[in-house]
Structure 1
Amino acid sequence: MVSLRYFDGLQVGSRIQVIETTHKFPLLSGYSQSSSVFDLEPNKQLKKTQKDYFIKSFGINVVKKALCQFPECQFSTLKALFPQLKSLSEFIQSDNYLGKIKVEVEGVEEAVNDLTQDNKLAIVIYLLNKLSSELQVENVEYKGTNEFKPYMVKDTFTDKTLNIVNDGNGDQEYGIPQSETTNQALNMDVSAEDWFVFNENYGTSEEKYLVKYIAKVAGQLKQKYSEVYLLRNERHFKLFNFDDGRVFEPDFVLFLVKDDKKHSLYYQVFIEPKGGHLIKHDEWKHNFLMHLKTEHKIEQLWKDRECIVWGMPFYNETETKPDFEKEFSALL
């Protein structure tokens, strides 16, 4: 059983602000080159270029297909957030919503100038993945509650297809399987670990460091708990900040079960690895995690089972690891 934050949504009347930032998308060319020791001249590099596109120019059907992959972008949800919205087509085309969002596509000139339908769909999904949280909370205020309600894990963590792109910017680890990374400090076959629920980890370097840390302490956890499971949250659930209802999707949740003859404890520990450049920017998330343990309320369904919600400090291998280890030691 997983207990997730719920809230009472209350819109106070506003519309989404135009997002005019130009996003970047690296187009996989599909081309390959080869050379021979007998070539008189080395192969020339394929000519690359950049071109801006408005996502609405990809066509309504393409954008609608991408929107279908995001529950928070379904029309009924959008209508609740934006009462003036008349149709999904308006949401796609109007400058009040997605109409002014641009993407800079970079790749081989021929491919960039003649995007396939699959290219267009992948680009829109990539952008919506970045923007969907903003679409939920931009200019919307929530009246929240600190109560947690129980949901079955099997109903919360469901099968889904992920579109993962290593865009060449920032953390180069994102999108690279942990079992295949060339960084030996991070390389690990997670499929061999019974405590890691998924068979691969495509996360950032900090997410991979976190998994390595759990691998190091897994033996100690198993000495104290009868069940130990680490799940990566691939948009399976959201939490809502106690103070202002801002949406938060912690990267991992650690499930721990401690049994005795008369009573069982079920721990749900929310963990957020964080790149150093984002620690200050996302300080509100850290504060929320630190208040979870003392401020949450939870519906206890069985007398002999108690559920405990816990949040950890941000995990960063070089900056916040000592604080994380200090708090984590309470679980050990």
Structure 2
Amino acid sequence: MRNPRDGVAGLDAYKIEGPFAYPNLMTGRVTEASAFGGGQLTLKPSSKEPVSRDFKLADFGRTILGFSMDTNDFFHFANLRTYFPQLASASQFVTSDTYLGGVTVSVRGLPDDLDNLTARQKLDITHYVLHQIESGVKRESVEYIGTKDFKPYPIKDRFTDKVLKLRIEGETGLSWTESNVPGLDQIDLSGKDWHAYDDSFGTDQEKHFIKYMHDQEARLRDVFDDFYLLRNEKAVKLYDFDTGRAFEPDFVLFLRKKGEDASTILQLFIEPKGDHLRPQDDWKQDFLAQVKAKARLEMVFQGRDYTVLGLPFFNDTGQTNIDFKSAFETEALDA
């Protein structure tokens, strides 16, 4: 869903903080021309050292700020409202301390020049600061966020037959029986009714996870009447609640047990992950940890207690393996 930006009430929502550092003023030396020297110029250095001084952008005056904003479409009021929905007017953007009224800029130059900034210099400084603000807002802006509403769809409409393009090199180019993962040759995957496919061309960690599911089969059957593991090939896409970033968990596990009054169905999103991918993908695990608490489910069927949740990353070794097994015990085997 499109981000309504309801909580945005000023520049700090986009991590815009001052003071901005303006490059040196183009001053510090004066030129002298001889009236009889053919116009030849000589440079005379100033005897004073340049210093830095902070200015409030609003002190340059509304005329300067207004003109600079008018020359940049980003700062036209209609566009500003898309990023700052609580903004009441262009005047508020110029004067309020939460917007330009609170912005400072550090300018380096000679003391005399800083004491007597020209209108041109003030305009150049304002152009520079507004450009920095525009870049910062665009960089930090989140256009879409993930909805917390989960709607039911028939599995047959989502998980359909697909032709997959596989890399020949590496584990993903190997079938279940060809895999380099130890012990897979002793498991007839095509004979497992809980595995939705006859084969697996996944990564080594994905195959390790399927092997783990095989090892848990007896315990799962003690708790549930049915369970099915589906490889997610672009069938289900999740969107991070806070940033709207999308990803497709590798597996969806369905667990069902009958009760006297209602059936209990658990839908688990599971992502096997190699350790080398953890730093860039940890946000996915953080999101999966929020699903159970934040998901809002539409009524699926009368007489069914339905829960969706995500588990920590799966890996066959290390702390990741320990964390996953602990969560699987709590959320599935002890359900």
Largest Rg, 1 or 2:
2
Q: Distance in 2 between matches of 1:296 and 1:207?
A: 26
Counterpart of 2:171, as a letter, is E
Are 1:261 and 2:260 matched, yes or no?
Answer: yes
C-alpha displacement at 1:245, in angstroms?
0.7
Contact 1:164 1:175 in 2 (8 A): yes
C-alpha displacement at 1:174, in angstroms?
1.3
Q: 1:291 corresponds to which residue?
A: 290
Q: Distance in 2 between matches of 1:261 and 1:147?
A: 28
Q: How does 1:184-223 map to 2 (within 5 A)?
A: 184-187=182-185, 188-223=187-222
Q: 2:79 corresponds to which residue?
A: none
Q: 2:325 corresponds to which residue?
A: 325
C-alpha displacement at 1:301, in angstroms?
3.4
Q: Which range is displaced more, 173-182 or 203-212?
A: 173-182
C-alpha displacement at 1:165, in angstroms?
1.1
Matched position secondary structure for 1:256: strand
Contact 1:257 1:265 in 2 (8 A): yes
Counterpart of 1:327, as a letter, is A
Query: What TM-score results when the alignment is normalised by the length of structure 2?
Result: 0.55
Contact 1:186 1:205 in 2 (8 A): no
Q: 1:245 corresponds to which residue?
A: 244
Contact 1:253 1:271 in 2 (8 A): yes
**What whole-Å deviation, never above 9, does each CA across 1:227-253 have from its counterpart, x for those lacking one?**
110000011120111111101100001
Matched position secondary structure for 1:151: coil
Contact 2:145 2:241 in 1 (8 A): no
Matched position secondary structure for 1:313: coil
Contact 2:181 2:207 in 1 (8 A): no
Counterpart of 1:251, as a letter, is D
C-alpha displacement at 1:11, in angstroms?
11
Q: 1:158 corresponds to which residue?
A: 160
Counterpart of 2:177, as a letter, is S
Contact 1:144 1:244 in 2 (8 A): yes
Contact 1:255 1:269 in 2 (8 A): yes
1:143–1:288 CA distance, 2 compared to 1 (3 A)? closer
Matched position secondary structure for 1:211: helix
Q: 1:51 corresponds to which residue?
A: none
Are 1:141 and 2:123 matched, yes or no?
Answer: no
C-alpha displacement at 1:152, in angstroms?
0.3
Counterpart of 1:277, as a letter, is H
Q: 1:309 corresponds to which residue?
A: 308
Matched position secondary structure for 1:279: helix
Higher relative contact order (CA 8 A, sep 6+): 1
Runs of 4+ with >4 A deviation: 9-12
Structure 1 unaligned regions, length at least 5: 1-7, 13-138
Contact 1:201 1:208 in 2 (8 A): yes
**What whole-Å deviation, never above 9, does each CA across 1:223-281 have from its counterpart, x for those lacking one?**
11111100000111201111111011000010011111211111100000001101121
Matched position secondary structure for 1:260: coil
C-alpha displacement at 1:192, in angstroms?
1.2
Contact 1:258 1:264 in 2 (8 A): yes
C-alpha displacement at 1:163, in angstroms?
0.9
Q: 2:176 corresponds to which residue?
A: 178
Q: May I ask how many residue pairs the two structures share in their alignment? A: 195
Q: Distance in 2 between matches of 1:144 and 1:181?
A: 37
Q: How does 1:42-57 map to 2 (within 5 A)?
A: none
C-alpha displacement at 1:9, in angstroms?
4.2
C-alpha displacement at 1:295, in angstroms?
1.1
C-alpha displacement at 1:184, in angstroms?
2.6
Percent identity reads 42
1:11–1:304 CA distance, 2 compared to 1 (3 A)? closer
Are 1:279 and 2:278 matched, yes or no?
Answer: yes
**What whole-Å deviation, never above 9, does each CA across 1:164-186 have from its counterpart, x for those lacking one?**
1134xxxx211211122244334
**What whole-Å deviation, never above 9, does each CA across 1:9-66 have from its counterpart, x for those lacking one?**
4699xxxxxxxxxxxxxxxxxxxxxxxxxxxxxxxxxxxxxxxxxxxxxxxxxxxxxx
C-alpha displacement at 1:189, in angstroms?
2.7
C-alpha displacement at 1:140, in angstroms?
7.0
Q: Distance in 1 between matches of 2:263 and 2:208?
A: 30
Structure 2 unaligned regions, length at least 5: 6-140
Matched position secondary structure for 1:293: helix
1:307–1:178 CA distance, 2 compared to 1 (3 A)? same
Q: Which range is displaced more, 292-301 or 264-273?
A: 292-301
C-alpha displacement at 1:215, in angstroms?
0.3
Contact 1:148 1:299 in 2 (8 A): yes
More helix, by proportion: 2
